[in-house]
Amino acid sequence: MAFAAFATAEAQAEAPKRRSRIALFLLLPGILYLILFFLTPLISLLLTSLQAPAEFGDIGVYDYAFNWQNYVDVVQQYLPHIARSFGYALAATVFALLFSYPLAYFIGVKARRWPLLQSLMLVLVIAPFFISFLLRTLAWKQLLSDESFIITSLKALSLMAPDAHFTGTPFAVIFGLTYNFIPFMTLPLYTTLERLDTRYLEAGSDLYAGPFAVFRKITIPLSMPGIVAGTLLTFIPAAGDYVNASRDFLGGPDTQMMGNVIEANFLVLLNYPAAAALSIILMAAILVLVGIYVKRSGTEDLL
Amino acid sequence: MSVREFAERGADLQLVGIQKRFPGFTAIEELDLTIPAGSFFALLGPSGCGKTTTLRLVAGLEEPTRGRILIGGTDVTDTKSHERPVNTVFQSYALFPHMTVIENVAFGLKRRRIGDALGKAHEALRLVELDHLAQRRPQQLSGGQQQRVALARAIVNRPALLLLDEPLGALDLKLRRQMQLELKTIQEEVGLTFLHVTHDQEEAMTMADTVAVMNKGAIEQMGAPAELYELPRTVFVANFLGQSNLFTGEVVDTTSTALTVDAGGTRIVVPTARAQRHRGTVAVGVRPEKVTLHTHEPAGSADRNVVGPGRVLDVSFSGVSTQYLVDLGALGTVLVFAQNVGFGPVAALGSEVWVSWEIMHGFGLDDVPGEAGRFPADDSTTSIAAQRRDSLVSELEEG
């Protein structure tokens, strides 16, 4: 996995016993935290996902069981939502990468000579974080609503059909996801590109590589750690996102993603086992996809 | 010349009226230089003299503010670096960390779509005796090995012109010697034109057949290493290339063969043919190893300059030779290198000595130490600050 690569490559010399005990002691809070806030809910979620409805209970009352049928049911019922989740997340990741790479390249490489400009642009990338994620998404809903200046202008210019909407469409959801996760893509890309040694680019140019070949053969491979980190930081939360696709924000009835379905099952339908099973599926699917991705991109030793 | 094919042989390099300004300072004032095909040419100078900038201009990594660059008679001034038949061995080697050694070496060939890139790359690696490490990553190699890979990556392309930017800077002494020989052998074998940039005078003198000494963005003197060493024309060259004893004085007598200079009351004679200036105030000098130390006043001779008596200020023994610093009063101090053919030092610290050298070994310079301004006479804070700024600027330029 990508995270194992953060460990140092060289084998650690055997430390004295006493020091390793101190290390263990220092690790304790972290381990306790993980047990309490990661392992326990995970096990609880797993158990919930296998529950069966109580025989003589109200709606929303379940007994512990080994009802694996829950998984089959949710997959059958919510397959379009699962596919939509990953499709939207993938599209948003690609768009965010296409938008962020030139931006990060400019800040990290071209703007090196002007540190002030560099800091200013970084602040601008982070600035959206100062406003709540929900508020920003709501603002976009206003900006892109049927009565908004943008949409009425587009319609006046006949660039949009008079009866068309933007909010509630897949485009709006993908737009929202892309917009919201751009900083998560830009920052890791910036950190790798900022360290990019331009002497390699000069060497490539000296060795008969034109600007495009230099970019493809040298810049991209050398910035691969940033690309992998950025795409993971975008894809994983985007696949589980339930704000952008929600009917209250940029989505509509036909744009519901897994997050929305899980939310509905938990809070509206009170079908906890189905919600839990969906959560587990989402998590497992992301783990598998990410594992394949990191393996394929061959960046384990670069991270 | 197309970059799609190998250069048949080295090409001439011509720099015509080159000037390079950076925001805030001028790296190269005015440079005219012709390097004939097949030669091993070294640009020698202290850091910040503009030599690395010159190299980057030839490689196409910088654009000259003014002037033209011609390679093999073709004007390449407006050609991008990837279209020039030139390859560089970078000071930092700049081996691509995400590629194996063989991929690094084959990179240029593949970009030019030359057939059998891998075969030719292996051949180049065999030349530098590193073929057994072809599958390694550059960071798994030692500094010397990386240097050889960088060399293989450049010469495999058979460029008309090979640029070397202080390529031996990071190596230890033994490896340096080995690489110097290897480079020289390769140059003779493949017949390329080499342009070598260095601040190491010994490296330049052992390897190059022509050395140009650069100072403050201009070439001070150019010639074969022995010629530069034996007959420096300026104070800068006399001091930068080896060490020199310099004396400044008025010319009192000139004949067709000998020039007599009165330096602080002592008459020093140099051959007229070896003096650049024949009247007024001139600087004359002699190399420390040409000077002989005497413990008794030597008999006067027509073909020797004899100066003394003076006092030995410092004796430092370095195995093969001993270095004496002799105070000659009004004439200043003189450095003497004496081969240790006997045992131990000849003169003790503080003893009274005379120095002498053959007149034919002396040389007369074109400028005098004050003019050269290598060490400004006034050490006011403003001049120190100005110097500090210049050195910082030159460091920036080097980087």
Contact (CB<8Å) A204/B61: no
Reported as a pLDDT band with limits 50, 70 and 90, residue B24 is confident
pLDDT in tens, A65-115: 888 888 999 999 999 999 999 999 999 999 999 999 999 999 999 999 999
Task: Answer whether residue B308 shows pLDDT above 80.
Answer: no
> Which residues does chain A have within 8 Å of residue B108's beta carbon, measured at their own beta carbons?
207-208
B195 in contact with A, Cβ within 8 Å = no
Residue A2, pLDDT > 50, answer: no
**pLDDT above 70 for A181:** yes
Q: How far apart are the first and last CA of chain A?
A: 10
The phi and psi torsions of B60 (rounded to 5 degrees) equal: 90, 15
CB nearest to B87's CB, from A197, A206, A214 = A206
Class of domain B236-367: mainly beta
Residues of B in contact with A203 (CB under 8 A): 88, 90, 94-96
Q: Say if A302 is an interface residue toward chain B (CB within 8 Å).
A: yes
Between B306 and B186, whose confidence is greater? B306
Say whether pLDDT at B381 is over 60: no
**Contacts with A222 from chain B: Cβ below 8 Å:** 97-98
Residue of A nearest to B86 (CA): A206
Domain ranges of chain B: 13-229, 236-367
At residue A6 the predicted structure's pLDDT band, cuts being 50, 70 and 90, is very low
Q: What are phi and psi of A203, to 5 degrees?
A: -60, -40
| pLDDT for residue A172 | 93
Instruction: Output the six-digit token pair for B331.
Output: 């004439």
Q: Which domains does chain A have, with CATH numbers?
A: 78-297 (1.10.3720.10)
Residue A200 sits at the chain B interface (C-beta within 8 Å):
yes
* Cα B72–Cα B74–Cα B77 angle in degrees, nearest 5: 115
> Closest Cα to residue B90, out of B55, B125, B51, B63?
B55
Which residue from B minimizes the CA distance to A197? Answer: B94
Q: Does B90 touch chain A (CB under 8 A)?
A: yes
A213 at interface of B, judged by CB pairs closer than 8 A: yes
Q: Does A206 touch chain B (CB under 8 A)?
A: yes
Q: CATH 3.10.20.30: does it fit domain B13-229?
A: no
pTM of this structure:
0.79
pLDDT value of position A10? 40
Q: What pLDDT digit, counting tens, does each position of B235-276 carry?
A: 999 988 888 999 998 999 888 888 999 888 888 999 999 998
Among the partner-chain residues A203, A221, A224, the one whose CB lies closest to the CB of B94 is A203
CB contacts, 8 Å: B153 with chain A: 207
pLDDT tens digits, one per residue of B116-154: 999 999 998 988 888 999 999 999 998 888 988 998 999
- Rounded to the nearest angstrom, the minimum Cα separation between A221 and chain B is 7
For residues B31-51, average pLDDT:
88
Query: Strand, helix or coil at A52?
Result: strand
Q: How far is CA B382 from CA A178, A225, B379, B385, B395, in A?
A: 57, 49, 8, 5, 20
At A45, is the secondary structure helix, strand, or coil?
A: helix
* B290 in contact with chain A, both atoms CB, cutoff 8 A: no
pLDDT at B224 > cutoff 50:
yes
Contact A203 B80 (CB under 8 A): no
| Cβ neighbours of residue A299 closer than 8 Å, sequence gap 6 or more | A2, A224, A225, A228
pLDDT band of A1, cuts 50, 70, 90: very low
Q: Which of residues 133-192 of B touch A (CB under 8 A)?
A: 153, 157
- Name the DSSP letter for residue A34: H
Partner-chain contact A209 B107, CB within 8 Å: yes
Neighbours of B385 (CB within 10 A): 10
Count of C-beta atoms within a 10 Å radius of residue A129: 10
Using the beta-carbon criterion (under 8 Å), do B82 and A199 form an inter-chain contact?
no
Please determine, for residue A303, whether its predicted confidence score (pLDDT) is greater than 60: no
In 3D space, the residue among B124, B97, B92 whose CA is nearest the CA of residue B108 turns out to be: B124
Is B86's Cβ below 8 Å from some Cβ in A?
A: yes
A-chain CB neighbours of B86 within 8 Å are 206
CB contact A41 to B (< 8 Å): no
Q: Do A207 and B82 touch (CB under 8 A)?
A: yes
Tokens describing residue B205: 């003198």
| pLDDT attached to residue A129 | 86
The C-alpha of B100 sits at a distance from chain A's nearest C-alpha, in angstroms, of 13
| Residues of chain B neighbouring A209 (CB-CB closer than 8 A) | 82, 107, 111
Q: Is the Cβ of A146 closer than 8 Å to some Cβ of chain B?
A: no
Residues 6+ apart with CB under 8 A from A67: A50, A51, A52, A273
Three-state SS string over chain B comes to CCCCCCCCCCCCEEEEEEEEEECCEEEEEEEEEEECCCCEEEEECCCCCCHHHHHHHHHCCCCCCEEEEEECCEECCCCCHHHCCEEEECCCCCCCCCCCHHHHHHHHHHHCCCCCHHHHHHHHHHHCCCHHHCCCCHHHCCHHHHHHHHHHHHHCCCCCEEEEECCCCCCCHHHHHHHHHHHHHHHHHHCCEEEEEECCHHHHHHHCCEEEEEECCEEEEEECHHHHHHCCCCHHHHHHCCCCEEEEEEEEEECCCEEEEEECCEEEEEEHHHECCCCCEEEEEECHHHCEEECCCCCCCCCEEEEEEEEEEEEEECCCEEEEEEECHHHCEEEEEEECCCCCCCCCCCCEEEEEEEHHHCEECCCCHHHHCCCCCCCCHHHHHHHHHHHHHHHHHHC
Nearest by CB: B82 against A200, A210, A224: A210
Cβ pair B90:A203 closer than 8 A: yes
Q: Is B108 on the interface with A (CB under 8 A)?
A: yes
Asked whether the beta carbons of residue B108 and residue A221 sit closer than 8 angstroms, the reply is: no
d(CA B130, CA B145): 8
Identify whether the C-beta of residue B147 lies closer than 8 Å to the C-beta of residue B138: no
- Residue in this structure with the two tokens 């495999």, named with its chain if needed: B156
The overall average pLDDT reported for chain A is 87
Give the span between the Cα atoms of B305 and B269, in whole angstroms: 7
Q: Determine, for residues A202 and B87 on separate chains, whether the beta-carbon distance falls below 8 Å.
A: no
* Three-state secondary-structure class, residue A53: strand
CB contact under 8 A, B157 and A207: yes
